[in-house]
Amino acid sequence: MQIKDIVKKVKQIEIRTRRKTENSLMGQYHSAFKGQGMTFSEVRQYQFGDEIRRIDWNKTARFQEPFVKVMEEERELTMMILVDISASMNYGTKHQLKREYVAEIAASLGFSAAGNNDKVGLILFADKVYKVIPPQKGRKHVLSMISSILTADYVQAESKIDYALHYMMGIFKRKSLVFLLSDFNDDYDSKILGVASKKHQLLGIRVFDEKDNEIPDVGYALLHDSETGREIYVNTSAARWRYTYAEAQKQKLKKLEEDFADSSAGFLNIGSGTEYSKLLYQYFQKK
């Protein structure tokens, strides 16, 4: 992809996603995630209805009249977006490549955070962590993240979600909002989801292409695994083979949903080209 094409693609994504975030997602995001607690703001004279536990006894004794401490919400949050850049994400059959769709979702999340003056960072991973963009604020920072997702070298290797989450938790100790975007094609240790969910607020987002779930009848075909390099000839005209494949994918998705639910983490299953903003809005609304 040429530099001018990257700039054009980033600009297109910005226009599409900013409209969505400003119209709906940003407000719901702000309501859903209310910060890490309360912080001291000022001291003022007591007013009827103030909580007695807020009384500043030192100042009350000094001035011989009641004063209270005013607390305000500590609003600033940190959002971390973890993106799978294994080769299976560089694939798409109808609407767009999964990597492009992920870039849009990440942009919507990033602009929601930036609009609320929160920091947002990015981790690109496959069999290991390939790039880390530390959390920062602002629109330009989000645009830089989008560019990194689009221009990453997508790796012919199995993605290791366990390693990515371990790495993130080792670097970012403070409780954060963590969005994990992958097609979840590869195995993982479900225990890590529970650990990550206890330390952070975790949402897994499975991005899939329609051909990930069902193989059409195209006769004999050579199927290529983009992550392992393995190839196999199959007869896609065999109804039993197509049924077995589709059922295996359904069971895999069911286990994925159960693992996230058992870990008290959120999970969304989103097909490329579908309206993801509604699903994110509903998730924020539930929070």
d(CA 194, CA 64): 52
Is the same domain home to 111 and 46? no
The pLDDT of residue 71 is 60
The pLDDT of residue 99 is 92
Longest CA–CA separation in the chain, Å: 90
The pLDDT of residue 86 is 95
d(CA 209, CA 95): 9
The pLDDT of residue 13 is 79
d(CA 201, CA 20): 23
Q: Which domain holds residue 187?
A: 3-32+76-286
In one-letter notation, the amino acid at residue 234 is V
Is the same domain home to 197 and 100? yes
Is the same domain home to 23 and 152? yes
pLDDT at 81 over 70: yes
d(CA 241, CA 73): 57
* Angle, CA 41 vertex, CA 35 and CA 42 arms, to 5°: 165
pLDDT at 197 over 80: yes
Total domains, the chain:
2
Is the same domain home to 239 and 250? yes
Is the same domain home to 14 and 60? no
Is the same domain home to 100 and 147? yes
pLDDT at 19 over 70: no
| Tokens describing residue 228 | 């392992």
pLDDT at 149 over 70: yes
168: domain CATH number is 3.40.50.410
d(CA 51, CA 46): 9
Question: What is the band of 85 on the pLDDT scale with cuts at 50, 70, 90?
Answer: very high
pLDDT at 216 over 90: no
- pLDDT tens digits, 248-272: 999 999 999 999 999 999 999 999 8
d(CA 16, CA 254): 32
Is the same domain home to 7 and 128? yes
The pLDDT of residue 9 is 75
Is the same domain home to 138 and 234? yes
The pLDDT of residue 104 is 92
Is the same domain home to 7 and 58? no
pLDDT at 228 over 80: no
Does 110 or 173 have the greater pLDDT score? 110
- pLDDT tens digits, 25-55: 766 776 666 555 555 557 888 877 777 888 9
H/E/C letters for each residue in the chain? CCHHHHHHHHHHHHHHHHHHHHHHHHHHHHHHCCCCEEEEEEEEECCCCCCHHHECHHHHHHHCCCEEEEEEEECCCEEEEEEECEHHHCCCCCCCCHHHHHHHHHHHHHHHHHHCCCEEEEEEECCCEEEEEEEECCHHHHHHHHHHHHHCCCECCCCCHHHHHHHHHHHCCCCCEEEEEECCCCCCCHHHHHHHHHHCEEEEEEEECHHHHCCCCCCEEEEECCCCCCEEEEECCCHHHHHHHHHHHHHHHHHHHHHHHHCCCEEEEEECCCCHHHHHHHHHHHC
Strand 78-84 to 177-182 pairing: parallel
pLDDT at 121 over 80: yes
d(CA 144, CA 124): 13
Question: What is the band of 145 on the pLDDT scale with cuts at 50, 70, 90?
Answer: very high
Is the same domain home to 174 and 223? yes
Last residue of a domain, one of 22, 49, 74: 74
Average pLDDT, rounded, for the chain: 86
Is the same domain home to 15 and 133? yes
Question: What is the band of 147 on the pLDDT scale with cuts at 50, 70, 90?
Answer: very high
Question: What is the band of 283 on the pLDDT scale with cuts at 50, 70, 90?
Answer: confident
Residues 149, 83: contact at Cβ < 8 Å?
A: yes
Is the same domain home to 56 and 163? no
Question: 287: which residues sit within 8 A by CB, 6+ positions away?
Answer: 32, 33
Q: What is the mean pLDDT of residues 90-108?
A: 89
